Copies of this chain bind each other. A is one copy, B any other.
Amino acid sequence: MSEDGGKMTSLETPKARYKQVAELLREAIKRGDYPAGSSLPSQPDLARKYSLNQSSISRAMAMLRSEGLIRTEHGKGSVVLEVPTVKRVRRIDRDYRTRPTGSSFAEELSKEGRASRTELVACEAVEAPADIAEHLRLAESEQALLRKRHMYAEGKPVQIAASYIPMSVAGSVDIAMPDVGPSGMYARIAERGFGPVRFTEDIEVRRASEDEASFLNITAGQPVFAILRTAFDKADRPVETCLNVLSALQWKLTYAWKQDVSS
């Protein structure tokens, strides 16, 4: 706290008062007065402090919430979130072999010295959602093997991953049984004669659903990356597609590749 020791902090009116309150709180958070994980003062307290109505304070909080700075829980209060903006590196060049999609999640993080953990949430044959089915060119009612994982970095949830493989490619659910990483899956697929040689990644930004927000520890409606990677074999048949969902405001994506201009 630098200049707001007293009870009264009169707000002038070049801008809306609730915006000024949001501004002050935003600065206080950046300054470290309210470190990540700590709670902001209650709305009645803030209302008294700034001589404002609770409604106005509530609007200020809504603003910070929509900026992804805080997370509010009914009956409890508002806690400050972390805004790490970490890099997620996906390399695309000729050096990659066994992991043609970029290194695996765990490896990317450990390279940066960050502990990580992956949790298998589901592994079963399902009817794929429409957009997935389209990418995999699934026939009517053809099922796909779904492997859904939750991924954590240093104990904190960061990504939801759902991999779909046509049952005609997977053969049976057993292919994923001794739990293996994505590179392992590609090896299994290759053994069955569907080795991937071409990849596409569609990057979309959309608003997080309630479920996604709850797991990722953000507020519903905040933008998330929905990255859909599809692998094709030599016959240009889609053999796997994987949907990754992660907070768009907290991660950067990096693509890198080499290219001879002369050739």
Contacts and interface: CB of A to CB of B under 8 A. Distances in A.
Interface stretch (A104-112, A114-122, A167-175, A199-207): A199-207
| Interface core residue of A201, A252, A257, A262 (most chain B CB under 10 Å) | A257
A254 interface: yes
Given A67-B207, A205-B225, A197 B258 contact: yes
A215 interface: no
A72 interface: no
A205 B261 contact: no
A177 interface: no
A262 B204 CA distance: 30
B254 A201 contact: yes
Interface residues of A, number: 41
A206 B249 contact: yes
Interface stretch (A37-45, A95-103, A149-157): A95-103
A204 B253 CA distance: 7
A200 to B, nearest CB: 4
Contact of A255 (B100, B197, B203, B260): B203
A182 interface: no
A255 B258 contact: no
A100 B66 CA distance: 38
A89 B176 CA distance: 32
Given A223-B223, A223-B248, A259 B205 contact: no
Contacts of A67: 207, 221
Contacts of A66: 66, 221
Interface in A232-256: 248-249, 252-256
Contacts of A98: 261
Interface of A: 66-67, 85, 92, 94, 96-98, 100, 186, 190, 195-207, 221, 223, 225, 248-249, 252-263
Question: Which are the 8 A-B pairs with shortest beta-carbon distances?
Answer: A205-B248, A100-B259, A203-B253, A223-B223, A200-B256, A201-B255, A198-B258, A195-B261
26 contacts: A66-B66, A67-B221, A92-B92, A92-B255, A92-B259, A94-B263, A97-B261, A97-B263, A98-B261, A100-B261, A190-B261, A196-B261, A197-B261, A198-B256, A198-B259, A199-B256, A200-B256, A201-B254, A202-B254, A203-B255, A204-B253, A205-B205, A205-B225, A205-B249, A206-B249, A248-B248
